[in-house]
Structure 1
Amino acid sequence: MHNKPEISIIISTYNSEEWLQKVLWGYNQQTLLNFEIVIADDGSKNNTKELIDNYRNEAKYDIVHVWHEDNGFQKSEILNKAIVKCNADYIIMSDGDCIPRKDFVAIHNKHKEKGFFLSGGYFMLPMNISKLISKEDIEKQKCFNVNWLTKNGLKRSFKNNKLSASGTKEKLLNLLTPTKPTWNGHNASGWKEDIIKINGFDERMQYGGQDRELGERLFNLGIKSKQIRYSAIVVHLDHPRGYKNQESIDKNLAIRATTKKENKVWTNFGIKK
């Protein structure tokens, strides 16, 4: 281990080496490099471990691989294990299918503030472009360039502003967006001590809304949030969501309703059992 990192970045993954490799390349391009990557691996086969071990030599940052046995979709549980392993006071959370733009870590670092968490966004790419993106495209940051993306089949839309906005326009869009600054699993950050104070994620929650519920307990703790979805940019690679089911979504909505009604800060189903 080098000196204590300024930031820990938790990346969740599950049997998705091709996408994870692109994401790790993205973090190697960061302008601010005093961070560690903590991979929250929800039971991937050995290929993921091999990929990580092979990449360690090339990575300009330390990688901590946190893994548990595959027991179905247990993302909340592996995220809690990853939170405990974070060596920095400040944590960014993102996913193994989100490639960060080179200023991603620097922007989270610049906007971090005691008493707040940060809420970023993502830019969804279609499958053909997700596949197409090469190591060189990431090194040259082409995959964040609207012209390059439209040349490769991306449709024109207002959402493309996410990638091209800068300066005043970026600030204005952050301000005007109707999207509330919630805790998003693909792009959010906060202080480790705040996350520990609320006992992390509720492990009863499977797919759908467990990130939002964590944010709702942070709000109940008195933490506020800041919107940076037009500043902290990740491109989201496409993938099928085989684990999405209505039953799990309904169960999670019920848990969130209780959190809200009882103004809950702590979950009994979190880091500390």
Structure 2
Amino acid sequence: MQISLSISTYNWPAALEVCLLSVLGQTVMPAEVLVADDGSGGATRELITSFQQRFPIPLKHIWQADEGFRLAGIRNKAILAAAQPYIVQIDGDVILHPQFVEDHVRFARPGCFATGSRVLMGEALSREVLTTKNINATLLRKNSKNFFNSLHMPWISDFLAHRYKKDPFDVKGCNMAFWKADLEKVNGYNEIFTGWGREDSELAIRLVNAGVRKRFLKGGGIMYHIHHREASRGREAENDRLLAQTRLERRTFAEEGLSRHITH
């Protein structure tokens, strides 16, 4: 199965570099990589250009102007640019286990979307990795928090798929995968969500309301999250309100979604 790997980023080329290095180390390569860039400057553009010369697959830079935290919008633009029927979505501040893509390909099922977890790297380990570019999975596993999330046990994934964290609220936007057709059915991300938070949960709820089942990928799809300061949560209360409204009204379609970027 051919997939598009979407990586969202904003002005942190050091983290994006080790993320892209981990993509190059995959046992199964995606068909293409889309860097969904929410307005980064020249350093990120130069980094992507240098990797385009090294990548054996297309590496596309999808960019929008920096007008504040507009993650939903840049993810929608990457969805529209994706050439493959299945999209695996990550953030640019993670390092992928070598079998991350392979696990997602194996786990994909028609009529379902997938979400996974992450391993939290400490501050000291994060500084070391960003300096040395050493992304050895054994090193990362031994020196990270929430060790259970780092255990690669693909044999348990299907058993836990519909049993672990059933609530559609419980998703990680940095580790999700969807059929492009399902995203089109619900009009993708809702771009009324700006600032940090809840755009991923709101999308998951609309997918479930539309009949797309959630599968939680446990024991595979492992990623290591680089430590950083939390983003401003000034919009959290408003985004929580919008999320509750979607759930209460059982909405399936985002009025401000993919269709905003389709020209006829």
TM norm structure 2:
0.90
| Counterpart among 233, 255, 267 of residue 222 in structure 2 | 233
CA shift, 1:172, in A, is 6.7
SS at match of 2:197: coil
CA shift, 1:57, in A, is 1.6
Is 2:83 the counterpart of 1:87? yes
| Counterpart among 92, 109, 114 of residue 105 in structure 2 | 109
CA shift, 1:136, in A, is 5.9
Structure 1 residue aligned with 2:5: 9
| Counterpart among 179, 193, 199 of residue 210 in structure 1 | 199
CA distance in 2, matches of 1:177, 1:114: 19
What is the RMSD of the two structures over their aligned residues, measured on CA atoms?
Answer: 2.1
Structure 2 residue aligned with 1:186: 174
CA shift, 1:61, in A, is 2.5
Cα-to-partner distance string for 1:102-154 (whole Å, 9 max, x where unaligned): 1000110001011101111001111211121266632x4334432xx2xxxx5
CA distance in 2, matches of 1:204, 1:10: 21
Structure 2 residue aligned with 1:259: 246
Mapped contact 1:183–1:214 kept (Cα < 8 A): no
Is 2:250 the counterpart of 1:268? no
Is 2:162 the counterpart of 1:166? no
Mapped contact 2:165–2:216 kept (Cα < 8 A): no
Between the aligned residues of both structures, percent identity stands at 28
CA shift, 1:260, in A, is 1.2
| Larger CA deviation: 175-184 vs 58-67 | 175-184
Structure 2 CA distance for partners of 1:253 and 1:186, relative to 1, 3 Å: same
Mapped contact 1:171–1:230 kept (Cα < 8 A): no
The AA in structure 1 aligned to 2:258 is I
CA distance in 1, matches of 2:45, 2:156: 41
Structure 2 CA distance for partners of 1:264 and 1:239, relative to 1, 3 Å: same
CA shift, 1:255, in A, is 1.2
Cα-to-partner distance string for 1:234-268 (whole Å, 9 max, x where unaligned): 000011123322xx111111111121122111011
CA distance in 2, matches of 1:235, 1:222: 31
Mapped contact 2:171–2:204 kept (Cα < 8 A): yes
Structure 2 CA distance for partners of 1:271 and 1:242, relative to 1, 3 Å: same
Cα-to-partner distance string for 1:27-75 (whole Å, 9 max, x where unaligned): 0000111421111100001110000001112223321101111101111
Mapped contact 2:113–2:213 kept (Cα < 8 A): yes
CA shift, 1:183, in A, is 3.9
Is 2:26 the counterpart of 1:35? no
CA shift, 1:226, in A, is 1.0
CA shift, 1:175, in A, is 7.1
CA shift, 1:168, in A, is 5.3
The AA in structure 2 aligned to 1:259 is T
Structure 2 CA distance for partners of 1:78 and 1:178, relative to 1, 3 Å: closer
Unaligned runs of 5+ in 2: none
Structure 2 CA distance for partners of 1:167 and 1:47, relative to 1, 3 Å: closer
Unaligned runs of 5+ in 1: none
| Counterpart among 19, 26, 40 of residue 23 in structure 1 | 19
| Counterpart among 38, 56, 60 of residue 60 in structure 1 | 56
Mapped contact 1:22–1:135 kept (Cα < 8 A): no
Is 2:126 the counterpart of 1:137? no
SS at match of 2:239: helix
Mapped contact 1:198–1:265 kept (Cα < 8 A): yes
SS at match of 2:126: helix
| Larger CA deviation: 124-133 vs 92-101 | 124-133
